[in-house]
Structures are given as C-alpha cells and as structure tokens.
Amino acid sequence: MHRPPTTFQVNASAIREERKAAGLETSELAERAGISRRYLSHLENGTRRHMKPGPYTRLCLALGVAKDDLLTPPEVPPSKEIRT
C-alpha cells in the first residue's frame, strides 16, 4: 500500500521564483496558502526545508503549480569514472 510522504523537501529558490512570477508579495502568498508570512520567509531563504503535506498542497494550489514543481531535485550520486 502506497503511503504519502510525511514531509516534502522543498526548493527555496523555486518557491521564491514562483511567487515572484505570480506577482505576489510574501504576505499575500502566505495568506492564500494559509501559512504565516514568517514560515514562508523561512522556506524561501532555506532556513526551513521540509513541509507537511497539508501546507505544501495549499502552497502549490496558491501558486498554481504542480506538486513536483517546488520540490528539491533528488541528488544524483557522482558517477565513478573508469580510467583505462
């Protein structure tokens, strides 16, 4: 059975870029998403990196973006070069 993640690791710069592209101030987006302006500010500057599913979903809806658009990209381990 598939369980939703307990938290989402968010990308600070993606949140900021999407907010600015939408023409919203921090306080406006926070109000639309039902989170505090301070919490949103912490997310945008990278002080907070994880969000619970409810607030994350509301933030995505307030910005009009897909759920994957604000996530931190998975880290790709460096490939080992084979020297010959």
For the chain, the C-alpha Rg in angstroms (whole number) is 15
Distance, first Cα to last Cα, the chain:
46
Strand partners, 9: 50
Output the pTM of the full model. Answer: 0.82
Q: pLDDT tens track of the chain, all 84 residues? A: 667 668 999 999 999 999 999 999 999 999 999 999 999 999 999 999 999 999 999 999 999 999 999 999 876 566 666 665
In sequence order, which ranges of 4-82 are alpha helices (DSSP H)?
12-21, 26-33, 37-45, 53-63
Closest CA to 11 of 79, 69, 70: 70
Element (H, E) at 51: strand 50-51
Q: Give Cα 55 distance to the centre of its chain.
A: 10
